[in-house]
Structures are given as C-alpha cells and as structure tokens.
Structure 1
Amino acid sequence: MAETSVTEVETIEKTNNGMEAESGKENPSSSSSDSDDDFEDSRVEALEKELAENPSSYEAHVQYIKSLRRLGHIEKLREARESMNALFPLSPAMWQEWVKDEASLSTGHETFVAVEKLYERGVHEYLSVPLWCDYITFVQEHDPSIHECLPAGILKMRNLFERALTAAGLHVVEGNKIWEAYRKFEQDIFHTIDSGDKGEKEKQVHRIRSIFHRQLSLPLADLRSTLFAYKAWEVELGTVPEVDSGELDGIPFNVVSAYQKAMEMYNARVHHEEKISKQYASDIDKLQHYMTYLKFEQSCGDPARIQILYERAVTDFPISSDLWLDYTRFLDHALKVPSVARDVYSRATKNCSWIGELWSRYLLSLERVHASENELSAVFQQSLLCTFSSIEEYLDLYLTRIDGLRRRMSLPGLPDDALDYALIRDTFQHAADYLCQNLKTEGVLLHNLHLCAYWARLEIKLGNDPVAARGVWESLLKTSGSMIEAWQGYIGMEIEMDHINEARSIYKRCYSKRFNGTGSEDICHSWLRFEREFGTLGDFDHALRKVTPRLEELKLFKSQQHSTNLAAPATQKESTPPKNVSQKRKPSARLTDEQTPLKRQKGVFQNDSTQKSGTNKERLNEVKANKPENSDEQQIDDSGAGKTKLYTDECTVFISNLGSEANERHLRDFFSDIGGVTAIRILKDKFTGKSRGLAYVDFSDNAHLTAAVSKNKQKLLGRKLSIAQSDPKGSQKRATFGASTAPGHGRREGHEEPMEASKESIEPHKSSSLSRRHEDRIQLKGKNTFAVPRTLVTPLGWSKNEQKSEGDEKPKSNNEFREMLLKSDK
C-alpha cells in the first residue's frame, strides 16, 4: 500500500511538471532519475540539519516540503507540513497542494473527513476564492448525502455556501464565482423536485431569486452578465417579458435600483482594482495602492467591505507588520467582533512574530472574549520566545499580562476563581529580572522604577503584604539608589499606608546622598515639609539640625563650582603657550606684573631667578615629604638622579580621614563590593613611616569610579571616610598660578578652592595700583586659600568653627608647612 501511494504521488508530480510516464514501459532516462534522487536525498539531509538548528527558517521549510514531495516520502511530507504550519500560516497554493496529495492517496470516508479538515484549516488562514471553490467542489463530489439530495446534505451545502459568501462574497473581482456556484447548486435542486410538488417548487424559486437579488446589489465584476442571466431565468419561468425588450424591463423596481447603485459603486472602485492587479507593479507600489484603496473604503464606511479588502491585502503581503497593525486596530475600534479579532490576531502573530504590539493586543483580545487562563498563559509564554527590537516591547508585554491578571482577580464572580496572586508576583519578578539585565541601556532605570512602583502597590492592595512591598523598593534601591525618584516613591508608599516612622527612617537614610541636579536639596526640603505635616516639634528640630549643614555644604559646593567655571575661560585666554624656549625663560613685564600678587601671598619677595629656584626647591622637598615608604609613589633620590613614576589620576579617588591602623588590605575589603581596584597608595611620613590618613585608590574604569565615590561618608574601622574623585587636570591649571600640589595627583573633585582671589593675578594693573599693593598684607583666611598647600585646604562640608583664624599672622612658606606636618606626625 505504501509503495502504491508513493507511485501515485510520483505520477502526479511528473504530470504537474509536464513529464510523461507510462506504466509498464522502460524509462530510458533511469540513470539521470537515480542521480536526481541522490541529489534530492542529500538536499533533504542538509535541510533537516538546517531546520534542526534553526526551526524558524521559513524558506528552509518550503524547500524541505518541495524536496520530500518530489521524492514521494508521504509520512515525512505530512510531518513536515504539520511542523511548518505550527509555526507559520501556509499559502493558499500550499494548502491546495496538500489536499490534492492527501485526496489522491486513497478514497473512503476517513480520507474525506481528513481532507475536509485540511480545507477548513486552509480557508481560515488566508482569503482565497480559488481555495473556497475547490473546497465546495470537493464536498459536492465526495459527500454521499449531497449526491442523494438528502435534507442533511443539502443543509450542509447551503451552510458551506453561506460561509464562503461571508468570507469572499464581497471580493470585487472573484466573488461572483462563489455566487454563480451557489445559484447553480440551487437550480440543480430545483430540477430534482417533482413537478407535482408546487409548494416546494415555489420555495426553491424564491431561494434562487433571492440569490440573484443579493448578487445584483453588490459591486462585483461581470454584474451585467448576472443581470442577463437573471432576466433569462425569469423569462424561463414566465414572469418577465421576452428578452427582446429593454434589459431592465419587467424587473422589479427595487432590484433595478439596487443594481444601478451597485454599478455606481463598482465604477468607483474599478480603477483601484486595476492598480492592485497590475502584473508588473513593484511590491512597494502595490502595497501603496492597497493602502489608498483601504482609505477609500474607510471613507465609504462599510465595515464588511473594509474587512474583505484587508484580508485581500494581508494575503498578498503576509509579513507587512504595518498592514497587520492597521487591520487589528480597525477590528478593535470599528468592527468590534471579538471572535473575529481573536482569529486575526492569531494569524498576525504567526506572520509577524517580532512585533510586540501585536502580541499585547492579542492578549487583550483574548481577555475581551473571556478566554481561559490556560489559553492566555499559552499565548503569553509563546510571545516570550520571540525576539523584539526594543526593551519597551518586552515591558509592555509583561505589563499587559499583569494588567489582565489584576483585572480578573479584582472582579468577583469570574470563572477563573483559582487565580492566585503568586502568578502576578512571578510575572513581576520575571520582568524585573529582564530589565536588570539591561540596566546600562538608556531609559531602563526609569522603566524599572515604574515597574517596581506598580509591583509594590499591588503587593499591598492584592497581596496584602506590606513587608513584600518594602522588599520590592529595597531591591530597587540596590540598583537605582542614585535616583531620587526611587526614594520618593518608597517614602510616598509609606506615607500612603500611614507608616510615619518608616517614612522618617527612609529620609534619614537618603538626605545625605548625592543626587543629580537639585535632587540633593530637594530631598532635604522634602524631609522638612514631611516633619511639618506629620512630625512633632522635636522631630522637626532634629530634621532641621540634620539638613542645615547639608544644605550649607551643597550651597558652598555650588558656589565653588560656579567660581571655577567662571575662572576657567579667563585662565585659558590669558595663559597663551610661549613660542620658544627663550620667551619661556624671560617672562614679559605684563606676566611679571600679573604674578606679583600671587608670589606675595606665598610670602616670597625675591627677584625672578630666586623665586624660581626657591619654588623648585620647595616643590622637590614637598615631594620627598609626601612620598610614602614602600609604595608606588614617585621614586626621586636626593641626588635628583632617581627615576620618576607618574600617576595621571584619570580614574582615581582621594580618601581622607583614614585611620592610622588602616592598610591596603582594609581598603581592598572596603571596595570589594564594587570591585575594579587596580592600585592603592597610602600616603606615609618619610621618617616615621606612619600613615598620614590620606590615600589614593585607582580603578579600572569610570563605572567603578562612580560606584566608589558613592561610598562617601561610609565608615572604615570606626572612622567616616571622605571620598571624592581626584582632579589632576584641575590641579595642573592651579599649578600655573603657584599652587603647591604633589606631582601626579590633583585636588579632590568638589573640593576646589574658589578662584575669586586669583582674578587679581589675571587682570592687568597700572603701576600706581601695583605700588599700593606692596604695602598691603593678604590674610590667608576666608576665600583667599588658593596658595595654601593641598593638605591644609579645608574640605567641603567643614564648619567655620573648625577653621583656624590666622588673623594678621605672616604667611608661612612651603618648607614651614612641611616642618609643621612632620612635628604633628611625631
């Protein structure tokens, strides 16, 4: 039986290809056939391997089916078609091929039922008038109940015709084929009715006349021929005069009116039909013609006709995502037939599986028809296997699923009473895990914030679990703690639940953190407003004591930043690089005039050569004093012949207030949670070897550097560290004005000294004002601190009470400062 089936399929294939095969005759080209079979076998193996590696390859499926069909491997062919149809819709031509192969294998009731099911599957996937006509013809020829004109068979056939007319009867070009087949079927039944049964004859005449009238009222091709056929039939019955009269004579007025209106509608559409049916038009032009045609139909306002045209368009362009999106949008907002929309969404997601919006709308469509949880879950899980182009599509899909679960759990009396909130929690967790994998992508932090806020709210309202809601926020703060919105959302939730103490504790955790823009000030003012509205006087006083120094610190920091930004352009404009060495060694009178106040502030009143040599000597001594023992700092011997190892501090933090017992291992453990440490340099006294409480830590990249700076004010060995980014470029600029800094290291970011006092050294002065300045003494206090060594500059955030007022005391030189440090270390 299997061999016979294979032979039949081979015979069919050879006939389709125009090849002649005669039974019992020897084939002269048997050798070439064998070679062709070998080629097909190897091709099948290659395609099987390709499909195993990439099951979603549409073209591989098509080629695999074609090869199996040529070889006549019936079972494999059937499995291949089923596998492909599980992933993709098959074209009408492929369905016709499939049913033709299955119908040719054998006859009988089982084969008839199997082929009928294939036709049903085919007509649901794409609109195809030829496929509907084949389906109708097959049922008429192979169903015994129809052959015998049994009532059940006639009823079945009429229902099939009505379904075909609903699906394709409005097709302007090909719809008349189904109408003509329907009329012929009813006319054949009319001839089988006994002439004596006049009642039944009249009923059948009424059915045929009704089909004519319905067809004549539609804008279809060859409508005039239909009119002639109708009039001839009425003449045959004797109800209309002879054909020699006018074409509309004897026809009822209502039929004539409907016919004339249908002809007007057809004439308005015929030019659109010609454009979309051009054989040599490009796909882009043809698709554009379809869109124009659709706009015209939408302006006419007939939903059924619009749907038919959409079906024709997606049949010609099955992978046009814009077309499917427009079609489904029309179904949701205009047609509003949930069962039809669900079927279209199923086909749309198979054709354009990479469009997340289609999957989200599909879930909503299933919810509208009250689909079961099993069906909704299956569609959702299937959508997660697809690849989308943006994170927003994944997030929208998760949120659509969560929205549906929330709605169904919130409304009592639904059939899905077994739904558990744990299902929502698991969906939230999967969405959060996916977003955490893409935190570096722009905009993901904000999406994650919105997701977690929604999650925490549902944990309270549906889960009745405030502890779980806090866990959601705490988890978010681990990854997005630098976003003020995350803290504000957490606080807002506690206030909404009337948990005042919990909200206050969150303010205490975040008021000293660094946020972007004005976030740091905003959180301080927000705490004060909170205590005004909810706290006692003691609570308000406590918050005020906490935030006041912080606000002053932020204000000072911004003023320093503003001064630095104003001074930088002036510095770049005035400090033009010298053209040659001689000009560099002999500064102009103007340059000397500009540098005089700066040198006087340092306490050095010597001639130019003495000042230069003294300055160089002081800097060398300072380098020696700052060099730690057994470290990677600059290696300079007393003779000046030692080699120097420079550090650019491009990715370095400066740490102060370090305990004397802290070593490199302690610092590595302190930064172990962020990683990325490449080097640690603890500054030590040259003679005693004790730590000076200062250190530099190098990191591998800016991401680790930012994380390290965020650990500012955290404690190590009981001491709160001050951590800031080192600024070597800023220190190099200040060095040109005489600032004393260690080579290779810059000042801490955010701790630069104000540049207002240095403006005098930049602006040109007259000789009279210069002589007057020699009689003045500049006090090293207030904002005039740019000449003070780096280790004595007051860090940002120290209160004024902690600064020493120097009064009119004579400014000290760098050597004197170094001796003071050595004494203090001892």
Structure 2
Amino acid sequence: MAASSDEEETHLQDMEEVDAGMEKRKMGSDGEEEAEEEGMGVEHSEEEEDEGNSSEDEKENEAEIQRLEEQLSINAFDYNCHLDLIKVLKQEGELLRLRKARQKMSELFPLTEEIWLDWLKDEIRLTEEEPNREKVYELFETAVIDYICPEIWLEYAQYSIGGMGSPGGVDKVRAIFERAVTAVGLHMTKGHVVWEAFREFENVMLSTVQPPHGRILNQEEQDRLKAQIERIHTLFRRQLAVPFMDMEATYAEYEEWSEDGVADTVTHQYKKALQQLAKCKSFEEALLVAEPPKLAEYQSYIDFELKEGDPARVQIIFERTLAENCLVPDMWAKYTTYLDRQLKIKGMVLSSHERAVRNCPWTMGLWKSYLLAQERHGADHQTVSDLFETALKAGFIQATDYVEIWQTYLDYLRRRVDFSKESSKELEELRGAFSRSLDYMTQDVEERFGESGDPSCITMQIWARIEALHCKNIQKARELWDSIMTKGNSKFANMWLEYYNLERSYGDPLHCRKALHRAVQCTADYPEHVSEVLLTFERVEGSLEDWDVAVQKTETRLMRVNAQRAKAAEKEANLAGQDAGRADQRRKTKMDKKGPKNVQKGTRAGEKRKAEQDDNTGTKRQRGNGNQPSEHMETEAGRSGRSAPPGYKPALHGNKRAAAAVNKPDDDDDKPELRNDSSSVFISNLAYTLEEPEAKLRTQFESCGPITQIRPVFATKGNFKGYGYVQFESAVSVAEALKLDRREVEGRPMFVSPCVDKNKNPDFKMFKYNTSMEKQKIFISGLPFSCSKEQLEEICKGLGTIKDIRMVTYRSGKPKGLAYVEFADEAQASQAVLKLDGMVVEENTISVAISNPPSRNVDKPGSGRLVADVPRQVFGSRGRGRTQLSLLPRSLHRQSAAVDRVENGTAATSGAAANAAGEAKPLSNSDFARMLLSK
C-alpha cells in the first residue's frame, strides 16, 4: 500500500508539472499571439505606406507619360521627347505602350545601336514561344537597315541559332551569317567577331557529322563531312584576306586547325591584307584615341579610302562614320553622291538616301537628291509624288529651300510630259503643280518666313517659257509675266529684258514694242540700258513714227531720272557736309582741350611740317614705292584710310632721275583734274600690263551710272601706273562703284575707294573690315590655296545660314589660305567652330576660331606722335642686299662738316658724330636734291 501511495503521489506531481507546463505554454502562446498581432499590425502599416508611395509614383509617372504624349502629338519630330517617353514606359512596365512608342519613333528616326539592342532583348523575352519567332525576325530585319552595327548582326545570328530545330533552320542561320559578314565583315575593329562566331557555328555543325570512334562512314556521310570541313577552310581563307586588327591570332589558329598546313595562296592573301592593315593602322589608332564624334579623323580616313578606290572599303568607312555622326548632313550628302556616281546599285542607293532624310529631315539638299535618285532608278510616279509630299512636311529652315524642292519636283513633272500631244494628263498635272507651287509660296512660305523665297519669280519664269516654247501658248506666258511684274519686279531692267527676249523669240514685234515702252517708264535701276534697247529695236523694226515716239519717251524719262539723281546727290552732299562740320567742331573742341598740354610735344612735328613746306618741290612729300600711293598700300588684315589726294605725286628716290625731276613742274598726265571729289572714286592695284585701261575701267563701271571722265594715270614713258580715277555725273553712282571693290580684274583684286583729299580731310579713314570681335563670324586658316569660295561654301552650308564668305588674298590676287565666313547669328558660328576646327581639307588641317582681328595702331594727324621718332629699316623692306654694295653716288659719300641747322624737325649732326653714335641718319628726297644741285 505504501508503494502504491508513492506511485500515486509521483503521478500527481507529474500531472501538476504537465498542467503547469501547459499553462506556461498557453501563457507563452498567448504572448506570442499578442506579439504576432502587434508585428502584423506593423507590417500592415508598412505595406499600406508602400502602397501609398507606389500609387503616388504611378500617378506621377502616368502624368509624365500623358505630358510626353501630348508634346509628341504637337511635334512628332522631338527626338528627346521620344527617348523620355520610352524610358518612363519601361519603368512602368507598360509593355504594349512601350512597343507602340518604340515603333512610332522607329518610323520617324533611325534608332541607335543601344536603343535597338534594348528593344530586341525585350521582344526576345516576350516571344519565347516558337510561333512568335517570325515577329522578332522582322524586327531584326528593320534594325539592321538603320546603321551598320556588328553587335546587332551578331545578336541576330545568335537568335537564329535557337531556331535550328525548325525545318530549314540551319540554312537560315547560314544565310544570316553570310549577310552579316557581307555587311560588317570589313569592319576593321569589330568585324572579326562576326567571322569567329560564324566559324564557331560551323565547327559545332562539324561535330554533328563526325562519326563515333571506330565507325566507318558511308559515301554520303563522307561527302557531308568533307563539305563541312571545306566550309570552315573557306571561312578561314575569306577572313584572312580581309585586314583586321590582331589578325595574326587568326592566322595562327588556322595553322593549328589545318592538318595539311596553310596553302601558299592563303599566305599570299594574308600578307597582302597585312600590308593594307599597315596603311590603315594609323587611322584606326587615331579613331581609338579621339573624342566623339571623331568627325575630322573619319574625314581623313574617308579621303584615304577614296584614293585607294575599293568601293566596299569606302562604303564601310562611310557607314562607320555615319553611325557616330548621323546628324551631319554634309556627310550624308557626300556618301549618297558617291553611291549615285560610283556604285549605282539601286537597293543600296535608295536605302542610303532614305536613311539620310530620316536622320536629317531639315536638309533640303538630301530630299532633292533622293527625288532625283528615285527618278534615276525608275521609281513609279506615285512613289516620287509621295516622297515629295513628305519632303514638304520636313520643316526646312529657309524659304529658298521650299522654292528649290518645288523646282526639283516641277522639273521631274516636266520631263514626264510628251509635248508632241496638244493635251495630256501629264501636261495638266504639270500646270496644276505650277499653280499649286505659287499658292504654296504665297500662303505657306511667306506666312512662315515673311518672304517668298523667290523674289525674282524664277518658278513663274520657267512656267512661262514652257508655255511659250513647248505648248506654243504665248498668251499664257504673257499673263504669267504680267503677274511677275506686279510682284515688285517692274523696276528692274533685267526683268523687262528677260520678258522682251521671250517676246522676241516666241511673240511678235507689237508686243516687243509694248514691253520696251513699259520698261522705259517703269525701270528704276538702269533706264539708260532699256532706252538703248528700245531705240535699237526701232532701228531694226520700227517706222519713222515709231522712232519719234521712242526718242521722245526715252528723252523725257531720262531727263526725269537725271533730275531725281541730282536732287538725291545734292541731299547726300548736304548731309555729308553737315557730318563733316560736326566732325570738325568735335575735333576742334578736342584740340582746344588738349592744346596747352601738347604744345611742347607738337613743336618738332610743327617744325617738320614747316621744313617740308619750304622744300623746293613745292608739294608735300609722301612716302611710297614710286608706283602706287602709300595711302592705298594695304594688307588683308585691314585697309587703313585708302583715299587718293587729288594732288598726289609719287615720292622721289635718291637717284639722278629723281633729283632731276625735283624742280620739274607736275606733268599734266599725272595730275588728276577731277571737278568734284564727291562724285569720283580712286582705282588702284591694277596690273601695270593692263591693255587699254580706260576701256577696261569703263567696262567695269558703266553699270554704276553715267560716267563723266575716266583717267588712268601713266608714267612719263607712257607706262600705266596701275591706278586711276573715275568721275561720275552723280554722287549716287559712287555708292554703286564702291560695291565693286576687290572685284578681280585680270587676276588681281581691284581696289575701289572714295576720292578724298587727305590734306583737307586728315582724319578720313576707310577701314573696310572690323577690328573688334565678330561673334557671328569665323576665321579659317590653313586652307589649301586651291580651295575656292564655292568649295568653302559647300563645306559650311550645312552648319547654318551663311551671309557672306570672304577669301583673303594678296594684292596680286593669289590666295593666302585664309577666309572669313559670316553666319546669321552667334550660335551658328559657335557650332561651326566646334565642327570645323581640325577638319582636313585636301590634306590640309584647318584651324577655325571666332573672328577677332588684331587692333590696328594707326597714327592720327595731330596726335602728337612724331613720324621722325619711328626708326626706319636701314636695309629696306627686303632686308640687307646680298652683295652689300652701296648704290649711293660717290659724291654723296663726302659728308660736309657739321652744321647747326634743322632738317625734318630735328637738329642735324655731323657725319663723325653720327658714326660715333653708330646710327645712320635717313635722308629725305630734298636732301638728295640739294646735294646733287650743289655740286
């Protein structure tokens, strides 16, 4: 019993412990439940907060997507907006909208390599099922068209390997690889990757046709094995014939793989490729170290390949250049021109033109070339018309661009017409296009640009000639010319003469006479010319009555014109006099203020002037070269005060002939006798060998207005001195004559400047070009001497609106290799500096900077600076002579004793003193004259 009671007690204790443990576990579980509930509450709050933040982000992203889509609906050609929209949609995971956005961008622009690879990888992940592989293939086909990109071709080939199991899959992979090596196999730095991938694929295929060890192949299996081995041999041979960077490794691999060794022909081709690689290596290395976009380096490379003449290599270097410089219109123009003139392969040419206008749609020249290429390769009419309509929507930057693209299309339509038929569908379409073009110029172009772009109405002139010549419809031509004249062209003589020539060729004498009578009454620029044409016409065609009417009308008109010109000249002279009076007053006021301060400084200069006035010559001496006035000697950097004093006489030099002429009165032939300097111009820098200079000058200046006198200056022996004077009847003609400054006359630039007496107008300066910074103008140096203005314009035309191009030349007309190009604004000039600086033009590397000419230190009369203080070159402008012989007469070597007299404003010293000082005092013309006459 005792034992049983112990067991019961033990059992009760165990039960109590179990109950206590269960209670504890219960309590623990309750605490855990409470803790879990608390933890779950925290987690729920965090999730709710994350959901709130994500919902806010989604709202912001959706708002941004809507904003970008609205912006693209306004301007579909906003490239950066397309990129931003694609980026936001990809963040949101909007796959369908993302695909649509990419497709829209691809329709408008060629996509870069990075955008295409990103798009392709997304589509590959989305279309892993077999039936959808064709969509990815289509996308790859679109991608490889935009640019030559080895990475895209490699991705295309690798993706196609995944479809080898389908019928014809192996052949499809091989076809894609073949297209890849054809397209990018010549890429010197990246093409070898495609070749190696192709060989790796063929090696895998080789392993599938090789038999297990010990098994004998039948004839068919042996043929397949040999064919596969030959494919790999062929790939090695083809790759080793193409120059690649590090191609030595490929040759070593072939040696190791080939059991029979490398054939001599393969080795020969390999060495030839190595030689080509050595030629191109410097260009490739330059590209590796250059900063994007590497345009100058690529340009040098292109010039090299063009000289080599291999079309395939020229094409691949152009494609590589355009992949990194896709927004350079000139490069596209150069590439498409090469394809048009050299390769002439329809598919390649049209594809390149299409890519060009998609990359640079604002460039009219690319659209024009595309239209011509479509016609050249026989495109159907609807295709050409659709292309033209697309070009009109491209958004050109100048009104003249629309005129030119219309003219290109009208030329195309004219070439389609068979004018042997009186009426045809093509002729009606041509007339309708002409009418539409005129409406387009009036409504669209003028509203956008504020100008028609065709002020001379060239389009209407061409239409009128077509109607008169081909359609024999002179009445329609006259209607068109009436419209031309009402558009502000009736005041121009050349327009009336163009109309007269049309009537002369296809009309009748009655309408010719009417046109010339209207021309005489309306012409404002050259009424004398149309009057002469009218009188000549009446001499040939008219009666006496017609002649009398013509004479009366021309005389009346010319009298009225001359009266108007005289009135305008008088008004201009009065304004000039008022300006001169104000300038004199300002100068006098300034001198009065400076007077007490500069008395001491001006003493020597005053003595010098007094001594010069006391000279035997009786005229103020001028320093020159004996052939041209020194005031008209200038450099291209600037022309300082080119004017011709009416009393000009060349400086005398230290020789007997000059000394003998000291006391000789001025030759009448050398002394200009112009009655009115305000109506005269001074002509200089003409060739001394110019035959009949008076006739030449009349030919040059007769278009400026009626000429009173032309006076070329001759030496005593009758030789032309290279300069002269032209006096007009009216001062109005002077402004027109000055526009002819630097016109080339027999290989030399002719200098034209106002004829101003510098003795009376010492402050007169005519410095043509600025000496301060011109932010809208660029200065180009290092140009080849063969570079013409047209070539330079071709280089710069894609960089902005060119206002002026000035080629810098020597006085002889020979180029200096320098030029100034003025753009419409500072931004275009800055972009031109960035894009042109360092460019290679005909093997010359040019330097480009914003124009900042150096300031010119021109001494003004009365400024207090002494001419005598400026040291003269002892040996002349060409340096010390080779022989070191003195050309001074012996009698002049015997210097007289020192005398205390003043020469040229300074006290003369003895010869010994001068020698002791180590300086030789320069002698004037008067000094030479006195010494010779005193002997």
TM-score of the superposed pair, with normalisation by structure 2: 0.52
2:333 aligned residue: 325
1:573 Cα deviation after fit: 7.9
Q: Amino acid of the residue matched to residue 182 of structure 2?
A: T
Cα shift readout 1:144-183 (whole Å, capped 9, x = no counterpart): 33xxxx5x44443333222211210001111011112222
Quick one: distance in 1 between partners of 2:147 and 2:358? 12
Among residues 62, 71, 78, which one is paired with 1:41 in the alignment?
62
1:95 aligned residue: 116
1:169 aligned residue: 185
Among residues 275, 287, 292, which one is paired with 1:276 in the alignment?
287
Cα shift readout 1:411-440 (whole Å, capped 9, x = no counterpart): 999xx9857323442354246426983899
2:557 aligned residue: 550
1:218-237 to structure 2, matched below 5 A, reads 218-235=242-259
Q: Does 1:499 align with 2:495?
A: no
2:483 aligned residue: 475
Call closer, same or farther: CA 1:330–1:28 in 2, change over 3 Å.
Answer: farther
Cα shift readout 1:713-766 (whole Å, capped 9, x = no counterpart): xxxxxxxxxxxxxxxxxxxxxxxxxxxxxxxxxxxxx9xxxxxxxxxxxxxxxx
Quick one: distance in 2 between partners of 1:131 and 1:348? 20
1:434-513 to structure 2, matched below 5 A, reads 437=446, 444=453, 447-480=455-488, 481-513=490-522
Secondary structure of residue in 2 paired with 1:164: helix
1:442 Cα deviation after fit: 8.8
Q: Amino acid of the residue matched to residue 494 of structure 2?
A: E
Q: Amino acid of the residue matched to residue 542 of structure 2?
A: G
1:183 aligned residue: 199
Call closer, same or farther: CA 1:307–1:577 in 2, change over 3 Å.
Answer: closer
1:364 Cα deviation after fit: 1.3
Q: Amino acid of the residue matched to residue 396 of structure 1?
A: E
1:538 Cα deviation after fit: 4.0
Q: Amino acid of the residue matched to residue 72 of structure 1?
A: G
Secondary structure of residue in 2 paired with 1:282: coil
Give yes or no for contact 1:356–1:388 (8 Å, CA) kept in 2. yes
Q: Amino acid of the residue matched to residue 350 of structure 2?
A: R
1:550 Cα deviation after fit: 3.0
Cα shift readout 1:117-168 (whole Å, capped 9, x = no counterpart): 00000000011111101111111212533xxxx5x44443333222211210
Among residues 54, 79, 82, which one is paired with 1:61 in the alignment?
82
Q: Does 1:261 align with 2:272?
A: yes
Call closer, same or farther: CA 1:30–1:572 in 2, change over 3 Å.
Answer: closer
Quick one: distance in 1 between partners of 2:492 and 2:362? 32
Call closer, same or farther: CA 1:428–1:533 in 2, change over 3 Å.
Answer: farther
Quick one: distance in 2 between partners of 1:571 and 1:312? 65
Q: Amino acid of the residue matched to residue 320 of structure 2?
A: R
Q: Does 1:105 align with 2:135?
A: no
1:617-766 to structure 2, matched below 5 A, reads none
Q: Amino acid of the residue matched to residue 97 of structure 1?
A: D
Quick one: distance in 2 between partners of 1:113 and 1:558? 80
Quick one: distance in 2 between partners of 1:568 and 1:44? 65
Give yes or no for contact 1:349–1:358 (8 Å, CA) kept in 2. yes
Give yes or no for contact 2:164–2:173 (8 Å, CA) kept in 1. no
Among residues 131, 136, 153, which one is paired with 2:152 in the alignment?
131
1:382 aligned residue: 390
Structure 2 gaps, min length 5: 1-46, 211-216, 587-731, 733-935
Among residues 347, 359, 365, which one is paired with 2:367 in the alignment?
359
Call closer, same or farther: CA 1:435–1:58 in 2, change over 3 Å.
Answer: closer
1:567 Cα deviation after fit: 8.1
Quick one: distance in 2 between partners of 1:164 and 1:347? 19
Q: Identity percentage over the alignment? A: 28
1:484 Cα deviation after fit: 2.0
Call closer, same or farther: CA 1:550–1:117 in 2, change over 3 Å.
Answer: same
Q: Amino acid of the residue matched to residue 112 of structure 1?
A: R
Call closer, same or farther: CA 1:490–1:441 in 2, change over 3 Å.
Answer: farther
Quick one: distance in 2 between partners of 1:439 and 1:52? 20
1:80 Cα deviation after fit: 1.0
Call closer, same or farther: CA 1:411–1:118 in 2, change over 3 Å.
Answer: farther
Cα shift readout 1:329-362 (whole Å, capped 9, x = no counterpart): 3223333334312111211111111111111111
1:564-579 to structure 2, matched below 5 A, reads none
Give yes or no for contact 1:456–1:472 (8 Å, CA) kept in 2. yes
Q: Does 1:291 align with 2:299?
A: yes
Q: CA RMSD in A?
A: 3.5
Call closer, same or farther: CA 1:448–1:442 in 2, change over 3 Å.
Answer: same
Quick one: distance in 1 between partners of 2:252 and 2:555? 97
Quick one: distance in 2 between partners of 1:144 and 1:41? 43
Give yes or no for contact 1:402–1:427 (8 Å, CA) kept in 2. no
Quick one: distance in 1 between partners of 2:163 and 2:445? 60
Quick one: distance in 2 between partners of 1:289 and 1:170? 18
Give yes or no for contact 1:354–1:389 (8 Å, CA) kept in 2. yes
Quick one: distance in 2 between partners of 1:215 and 1:496? 66
Quick one: distance in 1 between partners of 2:61 and 2:208? 53
2:538 aligned residue: 531
Q: Which moved more, 1:101-110 or 1:482-491?
A: 101-110
Call closer, same or farther: CA 1:523–1:32 in 2, change over 3 Å.
Answer: same
Quick one: distance in 1 between partners of 2:584 and 2:322? 70
1:569 Cα deviation after fit: 6.7
Cα shift readout 1:296-342 (whole Å, capped 9, x = no counterpart): 22232222112111211211222222322332232233333343121
1:543 Cα deviation after fit: 2.4
Give yes or no for contact 2:164–2:170 (8 Å, CA) kept in 1. no
Quick one: distance in 1 between partners of 2:551 and 2:209? 102
Secondary structure of residue in 2 paired with 1:220: coil
Quick one: distance in 1 between partners of 2:460 and 2:62? 56
Quick one: distance in 2 between partners of 1:228 and 1:575? 89
Cα shift readout 1:179-235 (whole Å, capped 9, x = no counterpart): 122223333334444743234433333332222111101111231221122222211
Give yes or no for contact 1:456–1:469 (8 Å, CA) kept in 2. yes
1:433 aligned residue: 442
Secondary structure of residue in 2 paired with 1:90: coil
Q: Does 1:303 align with 2:311?
A: yes
Call closer, same or farther: CA 1:142–1:272 in 2, change over 3 Å.
Answer: same
Q: Does 1:50 align with 2:71?
A: yes
Give yes or no for contact 2:109–2:359 (8 Å, CA) kept in 1. yes
How many pairs were matched up? 530
Give yes or no for contact 1:521–1:554 (8 Å, CA) kept in 2. no
Call closer, same or farther: CA 1:32–1:309 in 2, change over 3 Å.
Answer: farther
